[in-house]
Amino acid sequence: MTPEESGRKSVSGNFIRVARDRWTFEESQTGKPFVPIGCNYFDAHTGWPPQVWTRFDPSAVREHFRMMEDLGVNAIRVWLQWSSFMPVRGELSSKALDQCHEVLLQAKGSGIRVNLTGPEFWEGFPSWLSAETVKDYQHLMNPEYYEAHASFWEMFSAHFADEPVIYGFDLANEPFMPWDGTLVRTLWNQWLMDRYGSIDALKKNWRWQAPLEWGRIPPPPNRRLKGSKYLLDYQTFREEKALQWVRNSVEAIRRVDRHHLVTVGLHQSSFPCEEIIPSRYAAFAPRLLTRCLDYIALHWYPFGNPLTASLQPFDLPGNIERSLSIFLANCRYSHVETPLVMEECSYYGGGSPAFWGGVLPYRTEMEQDRFSRQLFTVSRGSLSGWLNWPLQDTEEATDTSAYGGFYTGTGVLKTWGSSFRTISSRLSGKRLRRRHARVTIPLSRSLLLTDAEYCDQILRRCYKLYVQGAIWDFKFSK
C-alpha cells in the first residue's frame, strides 16, 4: 500500500534550503516555507543509552512514526553510531544503511523530514577506535580521528545525496574542544609559534616576566582572570581548532553532496556566560562556524550545567524568569545571520530523573507543560525551528530523557504532548519572522572569555530586559 493509499502524507521531492531572508527554510522547488518542529527520535525501549541500530525493530519504528505524525511532527533528529555504521574503518555497513533506509521510508510516508547526526558512541566503540582515544574529547584535536570523521561523512552523504527526505546532516552532538592533554599541548605550542614567531613577541603581548620555552608552555590555569591575554589566546586557539574540525568534515560532504544542509549541535556552553570555569566553554563559536555551516543548531536545558543546577525553574521565586532570560540570551547570542534551530530542548514531568546523583526533584506533568510552553512563547521570533529532546520517556535513563518526552514510557500522551500538537499545527508551514531588537548589548570578546563578573553583568542585564518585555541583540567588539 502506498502512503497516499493509506491516507498518510508523503514528503515531496523537494530538498530543504535556506531561504533568501537568511532566517527561514523552504522547499527548493516550490519555495514553500518549512519550519522544523518535532523531536529527537530513538526507541525508548532499547536500553540506556538507547541501542538505535543494534536493536532495530521495523515494527516499532512504524508505530513511533504513527505517534509522531499524530502530534504534527514534521522534523526529527536521528543518531548515527560509529560501531553500527563503520565497524571496519573506511567501510560503511550495508546492514546499517538498510536500516537507515527503512527509517527514511517511514519518514517519507509520514511527511516527516530527517536530520542525521553523528556518528556517536551510544552503541560502543568500533574495533579500530578505542574509548581512550575519545577520553575528555581528545579525539576532536586528533588528526587521525577527524580525518576518519570526514571520511565517514563523505561516504555516508554520497550514499544519500539524492534523498530529499533528509533535510540536513549534523556533524556531531555537543562537541567540546579538549582543555588539556599531550596532543593538545603540542598543538597549542605550535599555534603560539605560528602566531608570534618568537618568545620575545609572545612575552610582550602577554606582559610576561617569567621564563618561557617553546614546547613547554602549558594551558593557562583553569580560572577566569580579567583581561588575561594568556587565557584569551588559549580560548582563541581552541576556537580555531573547532572551526578547522568542522570545516574539514563540511568540505568532505560538499565534495559529493550539494543538496543537504549541514550543521553542528552546539552545547549551551558555546555561550560563555553560562559557564564558570574556562574549560567548560565548548569553544564552538557560532560567529566563526557560520563561515562553513548552513544554519546554527543550539541545545539548551535549564539544568545544562551541574554548577548551576540550583537555577531549576521551580525551585525559588524568580527562577522561571531567570531561566527564560538565559534561554533567550542563548538564542540571541547564537544568531549569526543564518537560521537558528533549537535542536535539543526539554523539561521533564512525571518523575525525578537520576541525573547528577539524583539532585533533580520530582516535577509534575503540568510543570513540564507550563515551562515547555513558556520556552516556545519566549523564543517566537528568535528561533527558526524547534525540536524537543525525546519522543517518549525512558525511565531508566540517567538524564532528562527519563521524563522529558511527549509520551510516557507506556505510550500514553502527556500534557506536554497535547500542547505540542496545538503548537505544531500553528507553526508548521508558516514563514517565520525574526523579532527586531530594541536594544543592542555590546560584547567585549576578551572580557566575555576572561572575566566572570563581566559575564554575570551581561546575564543580569538580559534578565532586566526580559522582565521589561524588551528584546535585544548582541554586538561583538574586541
Give the helix/strand (H/E) hosting 211: none
Question: Cell numbers at residue 202, please?
Answer: 609572545
In a domain, 24, yes or no: yes
In a domain, 468, yes or no: no
Question: d(Cα 339, Cα 196) in Å, to the nearest integer?
Answer: 36
The range of the structural domain enclosing residue 432 comes to 16-436
In a domain, 149, yes or no: yes
| Predicted confidence pLDDT, tens digits, the chain (478 residues) | 343 333 346 566 799 999 999 999 999 999 999 999 999 999 999 999 999 999 999 999 999 999 999 999 999 999 999 999 999 999 999 999 999 999 999 999 999 999 999 999 999 999 999 888 888 999 999 988 989 999 999 999 999 999 999 999 999 999 999 999 999 999 999 999 999 999 999 999 999 999 999 999 999 999 999 999 999 999 999 999 999 999 999 999 999 999 999 999 999 999 999 877 999 999 999 999 999 999 999 999 987 555 554 467 877 778 899 999 999 999 999 999 999 999 999 899 999 988 766 677 899 999 999 999 999 999 999 999 999 999 999 999 988 899 999 999 999 999 999 999 999 999 988 999 999 998 999 999 999 999 999 999 999 999 999 999 999 999 998 7
Domain count, the chain: 1
Cα angle 458-461-462, degrees, rounded to a multiple of 5: 85
pTM of the complete model: 0.95
| CATH number of the domain within which 253 lies | 3.20.20.80
Cβ within 8 Å of residue 15, ≥6 positions away: 27, 28, 164, 167, 259, 260
In a domain, 424, yes or no: yes
In a domain, 37, yes or no: yes
In a domain, 377, yes or no: yes
In a domain, 471, yes or no: no
Question: Cell numbers at residue 98, please?
Answer: 538498510
Pairing of strands 385-390, 340-345: parallel
In a domain, 407, yes or no: yes
